[in-house]
């Protein structure tokens, strides 16, 4: 994309959303500890202690690998973010399923990709999924969702009947077909961030990872022939010969877009800027950072200079919640 075109896109997205960032978050009396309990299904001291003993965590079924990020050289003509001036940035990646069961079946539709881009002096981290829409816009609804889904079908039906955002999420997931590789999915950062532009005005955007070979879905017959756990082996064997590759974009908000609500999917007509390319090739799988990846956390608020979080309450609770979860399992 030419520099002039990029500049035009940024000008189109420079917006009056800065006042929106000052809107108060939905009131909640929930503590970070309560939010983690809701995710883990540990509402009392007995279950919480049991969870600590087994090192209970979300996204328990997952594995780590590595690669490299190659920034788009032209992006620094638009964004004033020094992090992207590096030619190659090492990646530690973790691919996973949702939930606390380390033996959950790979035949479900949900896929998650978390990344650490470890630059010379700064780090950029991502927590993404193949779902473009989130189920709650505030922490109280987040707590309610996590609590109700632990109640099974009755709890899910209550959410469908009483929480429109949860119903929209379930409707989306119902139409989301499974894949036979982590490499075959688009991944979305549902939360918004503020990016410094060259002219000094902040630009709001969301991360989107587009697989280089496009989205490839699996038929029911293909899936039936697979064992319950196949995704780890498939990706490791794949990248031993051919890297798994994604183009990383920032989708830019326009002035009418609510940048603080992850339940709202922005129109596909919104402009996108190519930030660079993620290449997962396993080149550092024997490095300490990769081998110990499961022991740490991926923090989407770990940002280089020039990128800042929006006022989205879901986003701003993530760091503290991940740290609380980390402390409990260590």
Helix (H) or strand (E) holding 11, with range, is: helix 3-13
- The tens digit of pLDDT for each residue in 54-63 reads 999 999 999 9
CATH architecture group of domain 3-328: Beta Barrel (2.40)
Binding residue positions for heme: 322
Mean pLDDT confidence for 110-124: 97
pLDDT score recorded for residue 301: 97
Of the residues 15, 38, 59, 290, only one is catalytic, namely 59
Identify the band that residue 201 occupies on the pLDDT scale cut at 50, 70 and 90: confident
Query: What's the pTM?
Result: 0.91
The question of whether 59 is a catalytic residue gets the answer: yes
Cα–Cα nearest to 39, from 165, 191, 149: 149
Cα–Cα nearest to 325, from 61, 78, 56: 56
Model confidence at 14: pLDDT above 60: no
- The answer to whether 271 touches 250, Cβ cutoff 8 Å, is no
Residue 157 phi/psi, 5-degree rounding, is -65, -35
Mean pLDDT confidence for 16-20: 33
Mean pLDDT confidence for 280-307: 96
SS3 annotation, 132-162: CCCCCCCHHHHHHHHHHHCCCHHHHHHHHHH
Mean pLDDT confidence for 205-211: 98
Model confidence at 306: pLDDT above 80: yes
Cα separation values, 113 from 3, 93, 153, 246, Å = 30, 7, 27, 11
Identify the band that residue 282 occupies on the pLDDT scale cut at 50, 70 and 90: very high
The span from the CA of 330 to the CA of 324, in Å, is 10
- The answer to whether 311 touches 260, Cβ cutoff 8 Å, is yes
């Amino acid at each position: 994309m030419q520099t002039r075109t990029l500049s035009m896109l940024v000008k189109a997205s420079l917006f009056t959303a800065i006042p929106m960032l000052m809107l108060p978050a939905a009131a909640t009396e929930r503590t970070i500890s309560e939010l983690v309990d809701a995710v883990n299904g540990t509402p009392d001291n007995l279950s919480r202690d049991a969870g600590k003993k087994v090192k209970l965590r979300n996204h328990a079924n997952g594995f780590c690998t590595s690669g490299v990020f190659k920034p788009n050289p032209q992006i620094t003509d638009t964004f004033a973010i020094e992090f992207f001036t590096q030619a190659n940035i090492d990646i530690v990646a973790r691919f996973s399923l949702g939930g606390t069961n380390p033996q959950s079946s790979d035949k479900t539709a949900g896929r998650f990709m978390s990344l650490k881009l470890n630059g010379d002096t700064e780090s950029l981290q991502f927590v993404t999924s193949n779902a473009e829409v989130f189920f709650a816009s505030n922490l109280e609804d987040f707590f309610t969702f996590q609590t109700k889904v632990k109640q099974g079908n009755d709890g899910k039906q209550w959410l469908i009947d009483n929480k429109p955002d949860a119903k929209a999420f379930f409707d989306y997931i119902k139409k989301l077909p499974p894949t036979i590789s982590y490499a075959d999915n688009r991944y979305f950062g549902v939360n918004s961030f503020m990016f410094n532009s060259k002219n000094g005005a902040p630009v709001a955007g969301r991360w989107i990872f587009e697989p280089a070979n496009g989205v490839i879905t699996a038929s029911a017959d293909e899936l039936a022939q697979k064992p319950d756990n196949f995704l780890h082996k498939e990706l490791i064997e794949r990248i031993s010969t051919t890297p798994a590759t994604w183009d990383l974009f920032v989708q830019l908000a326009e002035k009418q877009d609510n940048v603080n609500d992850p339940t709202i999917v922005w129109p596909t007509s919104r402009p996108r800027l190519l930030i660079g390319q993620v290449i997962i090739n396993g080149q550092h799988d024997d490095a300490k950072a990769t081998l110990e990846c499961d022991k740490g956390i991926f923090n989407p608020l770990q940002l280089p200079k020039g990128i800042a979080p929006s006022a989205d309450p879901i986003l701003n609770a993530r760091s503290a919640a991940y740290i609380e979860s980390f402390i409990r399992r260590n």
